[in-house]
Structure 1
Amino acid sequence: MNDVYERTTRGGWFDVSEEYLDRLVDEGSLSDYLTDELGSAEEFTVTRHDQGHSNETLFVEWGDREFVLRRPPAGETAETAHEVTREYLVMDALQETPVPVPTTVLACEDESVLGAEFYLMERQHGDVLRTDEPERFQSETARERLSEEVIDTLAAIHSVDPAAVGLDDFGYPEGFTERQVRRWSEQFTWAFDVTGEEREVPEVYELMSWLTEHAPEGHPHMLVHGDFKLDNLMFAPGTPPDLTAVFDWELSTLGDPHTDLGLLLLFWQEPDDPDPPIPELMPTFTAKPGYLSREELIERYERESGIEAENLRFYRVLAAYKMAALGEMFFRRHLEGNAADSLYPKMRDGVPRLAKRTLEMAKGSGDVSL
C-alpha cells in the first residue's frame, strides 16, 4: 500500500505499523464524535496520508462526505510545535478572502476523543508538487503561469488585513524575527536531548550565533504562513495551472513577511544551483525552462505586495536553519519510535549536510546571490 495505512468499518489496520496508528485514531471514539457533530453515516473509512512530515494527515470518508483530519503526531513533541487548532483558526478566518484555503468543518479541543486536539476540513482533489511536476504542466508557458500563481498567492497572504478577518490578536509581530531565531534554536535543543547521543551537528551552534547577530531590528508586520513552499500548495485538475489551496498553517502568525519569501526562495532551485542537501525535501524541477528565476519571483512579489524585499541572505539562512531544526525534530521522533515516516531516519545524515551548506551560505562561501 506504499506506506498508506487504512482502517475501515469492515476490518482492522493494514500494515505492520498497527501499534503506531492505533495511537493516532480510536475508530470508535472518532465515530461517536462525528455522529454527535455531523449526524450518522453508514460508511466510515480512515486512511493515513504518508506525504506530510509534521502533523499527521488522515483522510476520512463519512457517508458521502470526504474530510481531511489533522492532528499532532503521537508521543512527546516540542513545546509550541504541532498546533493544529491554530491551523484551523487561521483557515477559518481566511474563508472569504482572496487566499485559497480548504473549507473548514470543525475543530475539537477535547483531547479525550483522539488523545490530542484535531480538526476537520473538506478534502480537495488536485496535485501537490513534491518531487516533480504533472505532465500537463510540462511546458514553458505552464511553468511560467505556475510560478506566477505561487508568488501571487504569497503576496495575497501578505496583503490580508488581519483586523478585517478577526486575526488582529493572532500574534506579536514586534520582535518576531528575533523570536524566530530563539524558537528554532530551542527546537534544536529539544531534539539534541536525544539525537545528540547518536551524533552531533556542531555547525548549528555557529549558525545560532550568526543569526542572532544578523537579525534585522525592524520589519513589516503582516500575516505570515510560516511554511510557504510548493508541497504545501494544491493545484486544481486541468490546465493552465490554478493554485486552489494553501495547506499547513500550523506555523502561521503575525510577523515578518520576509521569512515566508526566504523559505520559498530556499526551495526554488535554479539551473546552476548545487544538488540539495536533503533531496527528499527539496525538489529540483523549478530549474527547468519556463519557471521564473528567484530574481523574477522577487520582482513580481514586490510589485504585487508593495513590500520591498531586502536582507534576503539572512532570511534564506533562517529558512534553512528552520528546515534543519525540523529535520532534527523528525530524527528525535524516529529514535523514540514516535513516527512511521520513512523520511525521519534519513535526517541522521541529512541535517548535518544541510547545516554545513547553511553555514557556508551565511559566511558567503555558498550560494549568496540573493
Structure 2
Amino acid sequence: MQTIPDGIEITATHADARGLDLPPLLVLEPVIEFMDARGLGSGPLSWARIGDGQSNITYRIDRGSDVFVLRRGPRPPLPKSTHDMVREARIQQLLGRHYVPVPEILAVCEDHSVLGVPFYIMSFMEGVVITDTVPAHLDSSAQRAAASAAAVDTLIQLHQIPADAGELATIGRPEGYLRRQVERFSTLWDVNTTRTLPDVPRIGAWLEQNIPASQATAVIHGDFRLGNLMFSRDEPARVTGILDWEMATLGDPLTDLGYLTATYAEPGSVPTPLELTPVTGEPGFLDRAQLIARYRDRMDLDLEALPWYQTLALWKASIFCEAIYTRWLHGERPEDTVFGPSLKTGVPQLLLAAGQFAGTSRG
C-alpha cells in the first residue's frame, strides 16, 4: 500500500497539483473529507491501484481496519456519455436487489471539485480474478473447467433477470439497440483516430447490412469476460462478484455472449489486445464451443447469428482501443508504457479477428 503522494498520479492537496501538466487521479485531502462526512472509516488513508485501469480507474482505499474501493473515470476531457460513474453506481444498486453479486455502493460524488470527475465508493469484495495466472486452489483440470463453466452460468443468471423489473426497465432502450450500436460506433472512429484503417468502414458496412433480429431483451453487462469476474478463494470455483458495469444497459443478450467468446483465449486463437485472460488457452478450461453449448442449453435462443455478435464485439473494441491509442499519442496517458503503444499493431489485430468471425477477412 502507498501512504504518501506519488508524483503526477496522487497528490495530497489540490494546491500540490498546481503546475502539473496533467491533473492527478487521486487527491487525498478532499477524498478524506468526503469520506469523513459520510462516516466511511477514520484516520489516515492509504491506497493502491487495482487492475490495469485502461478505461476507468479503481483504487483500494484503507483507513484503519476498514477497506473500501474508489472508482473514477479517466482524466478529462471525456467523450460525451462515457465514463458515467453515477449511472454505473445506480445500476449496481438496482442489480443488487436481484441478488446479482455486485459490491455495495456506499457513496456517490457528483461534485467535480473533489477529483475533477464524479466517482463512487463501494465495499471491498474478497476474491480472486483470473488473468495471466491461475490461483493455486483453481489450478486443476476440474477447477479450471468449473471456473469457465461458472462464468457462463453467471451470464445466464444475469440474462434471466426480468428486463422489465421495476427501475431496471429505465437503464436502457432495447428497441433498435443493435442498429444504434453500429451507427454510433461508426461515427466514433473518425473523432478518435489519427490514421486510416480501411477495415473499420468495411466491417462496419458488413455489420450494418447484416443486423440480426433480436430475440430477447435482457440486462447486458457490455464487458462480460473472466477478467471482470471475481472468484471465491476456495474451491469449488464460483463467481462471487461481477465488476465494471460502465457499459451495462438493456439490449440483446447475445451481445454479451458474443463478447465473452470473441475475447476468450483458446488453443490456436490469434492473440488480440482483448484476450486479457490468456490462461483460458491452457488445458482444462472450456473452449469457445463448449461455452456456447452451455449457454444454448439453458437459454431458449437461436445462436446461428452469433458470429455477427462476435464481429460486433471486436469491431467495437478496435474503436475503443483506438481512442486509447490516440490519447497515448497525445501524451494523455503518461503512466501507460505498455498497453497504449501496443495498440499501434493491436487495433489492426482486432480488426483482422473481427473479419475472421464475419467471414470477410482479407487474409
**TM-score, length-normalised on structure 1?**
0.88
Q: Counterpart of 1:160 in structure 2: which amino acid?
A: I
Partner of 2:304: 310
**Runs of 5+ in structure 1 lacking a partner?**
none
1:276 aligns with 2:256: no
SS in 1 for 2:168: coil
**Does the CA contact (< 8 Å) of 1:20 and 1:74 recur in 2?**
no
Which of residues 286, 294, 297 in structure 2 aligns to 1:292? Answer: 286
Find the counterpart in structure 1 of residue 16 from structure 2.
none
Q: 1:172 maps to what in 2? A: 173
Aligned to 1:183: 184
Per-residue CA shift, 1:21-80, capped at 9, x if unaligned? 852122211111111112661121232335231101111113322111111101322222
Indicate yes or no: 2:302 matched with 1:301.
Answer: no
Counterpart mapping for 1:142-221 below 5 A: 142-164=143-165, 166-192=167-193, 195-196=194-195, 200-221=196-217
Counterpart of 2:30 in structure 1 is 29
CA separation of 1:40 and 1:316: change in aligned 2, threshold 3 A: closer
How is 1:78-93 mapped onto 2 (pairs within 5 angstroms)? Answer: 78-93=79-94
Write the distance in 2 (CA, Å) between the matches of 1:302 and 1:360.
22
Q: How many residues align?
A: 353
- Structure 2: runs of 5 or more not aligned: 12-19
Over residues 204-246 of structure 1, what are the superposed CA-to-partner deviations in whole Å (9 max), with x where a residue is unaligned?
Answer: 1111111111112433111100000011111121222121100
Q: What is the CA–CA distance in structure 1 between the aligned matches of 2:113 and 2:32, rounded to whole Å?
A: 13
Query: Is this contact kept in 2: 1:228–1:260, CA < 8 A?
Result: yes
Equivalent residue runs for 1:103-122 within 5 Å = 103-122=104-123
Percent identity of paired positions between Structure 1 and Structure 2: 32
Give the 3 Å change call, closer, same or farther, for CA 357–110 of structure 1 in structure 2: same
CA 1:157/1:332 → structure 2, altered by over 3 Å: closer, same or farther? Answer: same
Structure 2 counterpart SS, 1:147: helix
Which residue number in structure 1 is paired with residue 15 of structure 2?
none
Letter in 1 for 2:242: V
Q: Among residues 217, 225, 243, which one is paired with 1:229 in the alignment? A: 225
Q: Verify the 8 A CA contact 1:201 1:355 in the aligned structure 2.
A: no
Q: Tell me if the contact between 2:137 and 2:233 (Cα under 8 Å) persists in the aligned partners.
A: no
Match for residue 253 of structure 1? Answer: 249
TM-score normalised by L of structure 2: 0.90
CA distance in 2, matches of 1:130, 1:98: 25
Aligned partners of 1:226 and 1:260 also within 8 Å: yes
CA distance in structure 2 between the aligned counterparts of 1:50 and 1:143, rounded to whole angstroms: 22
Task: Give the secondary-structure state (helix, strand or coil) at the position aligned to 1:162.
Answer: coil
For residue 159 of structure 1, what is the amino acid of its counterpart? Q
Question: What is the Cα deviation at residue 294 of structure 1?
Answer: 2.1
In 2, are the aligned partners of 1:60 and 1:68 still within 8 Å (CA)? yes
RCO (CA 8 Å, sep 6+): is it higher in 1 or 2? 1
Between the aligned partners of 1:288 and 1:242, the Cα distance in structure 2 is 19
Q: Counterpart amino acid of 2:270?
A: D
Q: CA deviation at 1:312?
A: 0.8
Q: Secondary structure at the match of 2:115?
A: coil
Q: Is the 8 A contact 2:8 2:22 kept in 1?
A: no
Tell me, in whole angstroms, the C-alpha distance in 1 between the residues paired with 2:314 and 2:227. 16
Deviation at 1:188, TM superposition (A): 2.0
